[in-house]
Amino acid sequence: MPAISPYIIDPIWEHFEALLPERNVVDHPLGCHNPRIPDKVVFEKLVQVLVFGCAYERIAEQTCSATTLRRRRDEWIASGVMEKLQQIVLDAYDWMIGLDLCDVSVDGCIQRRLPVEARRRAEKPRRSGQAGPHKRSVVVDANGIPIGAIAAPANRPDSPLLEATLDTMEIVGELPERMSVHLDRGYGVFGGYPRAATESWPYPCDLLKKGKPAPLQATKRWVVERTNSWTNAHKKLVWCTEREDRVIDFWFAFSGVVITVGRLIRRGWTHYRWEGRPCRRP
């Protein structure tokens, strides 16, 4: 059984392949060099790494080594292919379904702690400065579509991450004139009301105050909790095993692309017909 349903991963691969830079094939005159591993084979391996969260050595085979996976991943990161694909996917969703940016939600999610021995060997984000779990701060639209995410050490409060998280919304272009940002009580624990961190942000922040019952507007925050649950299904983001920020951002973008395409197919199933459309609504 594939790691991700073919009706989701096949269109992702078609657009991903179209974005790959052209490569000049050089044949060695003596024919002693191993042939280059096809990009699709590496892509399928990285999909398994994303979903299962296993190490590159665990998923490697004789046809594709762990070194090849890392090297090809770094090539794609340097060319910015995944960021371009995320932009295309968000534009496609906005064109066919429509991003609801009038009410956006932001929340942080602490990843699971690794076992002691695995934690000693685990790589860490450079932002943390120490080994251990990390935190993922995500901003989503009113329907839970992930727009942007940043990584931080797990001991970092939510409030200082708010401004950087909101800055990731630049990927969607122009924002609506009237937009509200919905936050939970965690954003008021450190440093008081987070407006001090968003002086340049022209939109109001709806913050749940500690010690008071949640108002009716809190029902607009559940979508970000659901998106965190979808993201945690990609085990590569559950356990922090990467060292560099650019690699973590690559996996964040990859997960966001998969989630957005899945929601696009689900929402568009009743309105559109296309080749390879699932027989039942996903």
CATH number, domain at 128?
A: 3.30.420
- Asked whether residue 129 is assigned to any structural domain, the reply reads yes
- Asked whether residue 32 is assigned to any structural domain, the reply reads no
- State how far the Cα of 240 lies from the Cα of 180, in Å rounded to an integer: 32
Dig out the tokens for 207 from the structure.
């913050």
- Asked whether residue 43 is assigned to any structural domain, the reply reads no
- Asked whether residue 171 is assigned to any structural domain, the reply reads yes
One-letter amino acid identity for 167?
A: D
pLDDT (tens, 9 = 90+) of the chain, 282 residues, equals: 678 899 999 999 999 999 998 877 666 666 667 788 899 999 999 999 999 998 899 989 888 899 999 999 999 999 999 999 999 999 999 999 999 998 899 998 887 654 444 444 444 444 434 445 678 999 999 999 999 999 888 888 888 888 889 889 999 888 888 888 888 777 765 555 454 444 556 666 666 565 666 555 556 788 999 999 999 999 999 887 787 889 999 999 999 999 999 999 999 998 888 888 888 888
- Asked whether residue 146 is assigned to any structural domain, the reply reads yes
- Asked whether residue 7 is assigned to any structural domain, the reply reads no
- State how far the Cα of 20 lies from the Cα of 76, in Å rounded to an integer: 8
Dig out the tokens for 226 from the structure.
């659901």
List the alpha helices (DSSP H) in 80-193: 81-96, 116-121, 162-167
Domain span holding position 140: 106-241
Which residue carries 């932009």 as its tokens?
87
- State how far the Cα of 212 lies from the Cα of 2, in Å rounded to an integer: 46
- Asked whether residue 99 is assigned to any structural domain, the reply reads no
3-state helix, strand, coil in the chain (%, to 5): 50, 10, 40
Q: How many domains does the chain have?
A: 1
- Asked whether residue 20 is assigned to any structural domain, the reply reads no
